[in-house]
Structure 1
């Protein structure tokens, strides 16, 4: 496991991807970009959750113009998502986009693509060349007898070669499919054929449950091979859920430190407290804590203390009560209603200890 250290480094605003830099997390706003207030509010919330790069749709000139004020009020790189109209890409760059995402295949003629490339080159703005399985060109579908990983890779590399011929190589590549194993194979193929950084994600993954499972499997298989420089977990839901999932995927693979990891046992007939409710409350509670620790939420006192031994903090339920556990040692027995406040107090104490050491 590790990064493809030989990938080209691409600067996006004040952040860098590729060349062994940490994998950055992206998301995309679901607000109307023309609504500056709503878009900024969502981006600031995403920043707080841990989003490193944010993308917004630019379907109109009004949306492109809004980028200037949006960028003024946020703190992470802003990417403009462009389809069909090359003039929107040019306007987005002029209005301050830190990167643009285009599919050269739907931008139009070579002259129009050249105009976008020239503007990106003038402003030093990287281009993400995006290819999706749903929009693979007909000749490649016919060549490979359907939509295939090989077709996705050829399509992406053809478009990259076109932009290189136009004198620009400040590029990021994305090849996405809703078919998890096709996506995995495509990334394995393209990683051997290009030095450009790769934006990885399973597109149209689905609702929060289905999308999380498909993204975890796909991203896990891809990232564990050292492939990928920036990721997005695509979910039909709140963008905030995408960030939570992406952070956990990276942390589970060992590719990112920091953040509180919550582990909890499945309920069984011994459970005498509202374990499901407590575990969800704990997961919500820990989101804002800048600690690199594990918190265990266990349902009974039979196995709870033992199972929580490897955690930094933990609670184990009893009959309407529970144990507060720290580093495997029982601290105190508390009524069920006091478990969450007691856990919060311990987290607050750990934050203060961390600050004192710093």
Structure 2
């Protein structure tokens, strides 16, 4: 079998992240917590009552790789549309319920895989019992979602302001309600728009309870600034092993949230999806327009979901060294041509004029090879055993 330079985990022990031990729950068909892969999710921003528009956006999120999608259910028309939405979705749907317990019951009956709800906000003990029973009857898990911007009045009075201690106390209070009803299929989030507050709250929560944790820096902002803030906050937690599912909250197209989420996980070696492009920022030594080429390649390789690596380096200073550890590489040279590398080795020279097409062809071929290598044919007598 050919060399796979991008798979070097066995000789790079310093890249290993030891994840926090959490119990596992199911969000529909997706396992969250335990040793399950960290799932990536986003939320629709269409009116949920408009089933067609919501389904269309869910489809876009699915194509981007979303593992889970959340929809808001603030009113009865939304939960009425949810059944059709769930039926058409290929990924589990989380129904976001804030205050009205009937919406939670309706969402469970409509097929939601998970309810995002704070049990203490939906009224008296009987209402909580009704929602828990509906979740149990219909195989729903729950997410307790604590936000710094909507903490309970008594906690704000106790602590004076949103702080990690107040957020964790809120989360544990809500968790206790579910535990008192012998319901343990829940995960928790403690989000703030301040990454310092967010990280501190999750660190305390991770020590206090063993349930899966849903990570996010809430209301992170526009695409660029929000991406940076999310990467700092969530990257810090993921690096230390905290987090079982993530949502990047951007004031942007929800598809971008999925892309950024996977990029964060990919950067930490926690999930691998699609082509990881390693590219130099370019300088006067470049033998071709690196920035323009990388932009074109990102678009042309967006359909590749197979985990693999590609290096695009403008000159021979770092090019050969980077290519040594990637599946496909191209290093700029002189006289309008460069060198193609395959599996870490020099393959052939390539004119810059046909470079993009050649790289795309080589990446597609390598992706097909890797996919074929994953297919293991089990002999009939072994399968029978």
TM-score under structure 2 length normalisation: 0.86
Cα displacement (A) at 1:197: 1.1
- In structure 2, what is the Cα distance between the partners aligned to 1:9 and 1:352? 33
CA distance in 2, matches of 1:15, 1:247: 16
Give the distance between the partners of 1:329 and 1:91, measured in 2 at CA.
Answer: 59
Q: 1:350 to 1:122 in 2, by over 3 A?
A: same
Distance (Å, rounded) in 2 between the aligned partners of 1:10 and 1:356: 32
Indicate how the Cα distance of structure 1 residues 337 and 88 shifts in structure 2: closer, same or farther if over 3 A, else same.
Answer: farther
Residue 210 (str. 1) matches residue 233 (str. 2)? no
Are 1:103 and 2:118 counterparts?
A: yes
- Which residue of structure 1 lines up, in the alignment, with residue 382 of structure 2? none
Mapped contact 2:148–2:191 kept (Cα < 8 A): yes
2:145 corresponding residue in structure 1:
130
Give the alignment partner of residue 253 of structure 1, picking from 250, 268, 281. Answer: 268
- Kindly report which structure 2 residues correspond to 1:38-49, keeping only aligned pairs within 5 A, or say none: 38-49=53-64
Matched, 1:289 2:299: no
Query: Structure 2 unaligned runs (5+)?
Result: 1-16, 376-385
Q: Which residue of 2 aligns with 1:56?
A: 71
Shift of 1:258: 4.2
Shift of 1:232: 0.9
> Aligned to 1:325, which of 341, 344, 348?
341
Give 1:347-358 correspondences, 5 Å limit.
347-357=363-373, 358=375
SS at match of 1:262: strand
Alignment match of 2:205 (pick from 174, 184, 190)? 190
1:268-292: per-residue Cα shift (whole Å, max 9, x none)? 1233533212112222333322433
Indicate the RMSD between aligned Cα atoms, in angstroms: 2.1
Is 1:336 the counterpart of 2:341? The answer is: no
Q: Tell me how far 1:148 sits from its aligned partner.
A: 0.3
In terms of mean alpha carbon deviation, does 242-251 or 146-155 score higher? 242-251
2:262–2:272 contact (8 Å) kept in structure 1: no
Report matched runs for 1:176-187 at 5 Å. 176-187=191-202
For residue 67 of structure 1, what is the aligned residue in structure 2? 82
- Secondary structure at the residue paired with 1:38? helix
Change (3 A) 1:285 1:186: same
Tell me the secondary structure at the aligned position of residue 155 of structure 1.
helix
Q: 1:353 to 1:159 in 2, by over 3 A?
A: closer
- Give 3-state SS (helix, strand or coil) of 1:192's partner: helix
1:279 aligned to 2:322? Answer: no
In the superposition, relative to structure 1, how do residues 317 and 15 fare at CA in structure 2: closer, same or farther (>3 Å)?
same
Task: Please say if 1:266 is aligned against 2:276.
Answer: no
Contact 1:301 1:322 in 2 (8 A): no
CA distance in 2, matches of 1:238, 1:41: 13
Which string of whole-angstrom CA distances, capped at 9 and with x for unpartnered residues, describes residues 142-161 of structure 1? 32231101110001111111
Number of the residue aligned with 2:91: 76
* Per-residue CA distance 1:312-331 (angstroms, 9 max, x = gap): 21223356544333244443
Q: Residues 170, 351 of structure 1: CA spacing in aligned structure 2 closer, same or farther, 3 A cutoff?
A: closer
The range that moved more, 153-162 or 7-16, is 7-16
Q: Which of 89, 92, 95 is matched with 2:104 structurally?
A: 89
- Per the alignment, do residues 166 and 340 of structure 1 end up closer, same or farther by CA in structure 2, a change over 3 Å counting? same
TM-score for both structures, normalised by structure 1: 0.92
2:120 touches 2:177 (CA, 8 Å); kept in 1? no
Determine which of 19, 35, 55 is the counterpart of 2:50: 35
Q: CA deviation at 1:233?
A: 1.2
Preserved contact between residue 4 and residue 20 of structure 1 (Cα < 8 Å): no
C-alpha distance in 2 between matches for 1:158 and 1:351: 48
Counterpart Cα distance in 1 of 2:344 and 2:37: 32
Shift of 1:263: 0.9
User: Matched residues in 1 for 2:371 and 2:121: separation?
Assistant: 52
How many equivalent residue pairs? Answer: 357
Say which of 304, 308, 311 aligns to 2:323: 308
What is the alpha-carbon distance in structure 2 between the residues aligned to residue 320 and residue 89 of structure 1? 63
What is the aligned partner in structure 2 of residue 222 from structure 1? 237
Aligned pairs for 1:223-242 (under 5 A) are: 223-242=238-257
